[in-house]
Amino acid sequence: MENCIFCKIVKGEIPSTKLYESERVIVFLDINPIEKGHALIVPKLHWSNLAEVKLDTEKEIETYEELMYVMRVTAKAVISTGIADGANILQCNNACAGKTVDHLHFHVIPRYGKEAVAVPAFNSGAVKYEEGEVSVITKKLADAIKKIIQEEDLL
């Protein structure tokens, strides 16, 4: 899609803080994080929402399978690195559900033991990184994602 911000990130037209990238999926840090380490898992195929996912071709099936797998791996990485005690996985369909980018994506939101669980307000920019913190978190998560994928040997 020509004006889709995530399609532009996929094409390298807009920079992102990448945690993982394959030919089908990209994972990067959210620019308005709810918590430090808040990641987005995005298919490189443009599907507007979950209801529009087509599984008619081998490429579509492989993309969807890898998207689900990498979402799980990213949540596992958030917890295994000690960045957080747990993670919410959130996916919104359409603007009425809080979706702000019309491209299917999943949020992996780090959570900490004493928080109340609530649907977060997107684009609140509630959390700001300290200087150098993005680099540290990016390296931890990217390394953990790579390690988990290698250990599980499923891709």
Which of 38, 103, 105, 107 does the annotation list as catalytic? Answer: 105
At residue 132 the predicted structure's pLDDT band, cuts being 50, 70 and 90, is very high
- Mean pLDDT (whole number) for 115-120: 61
Distance CA 42, CA 46 (A): 9
| Residue-averaged pLDDT of the chain | 90
Residue 95, judged by CB atoms within 10 A of its CB (0-12, 13-18, 19+), counts as exposed
Whether pTM > 0.85 for this model: the answer is: yes
103 is catalytic: no
State percent of the chain over pLDDT 90. 72
Residues 113-136: what's their mean pLDDT?
74
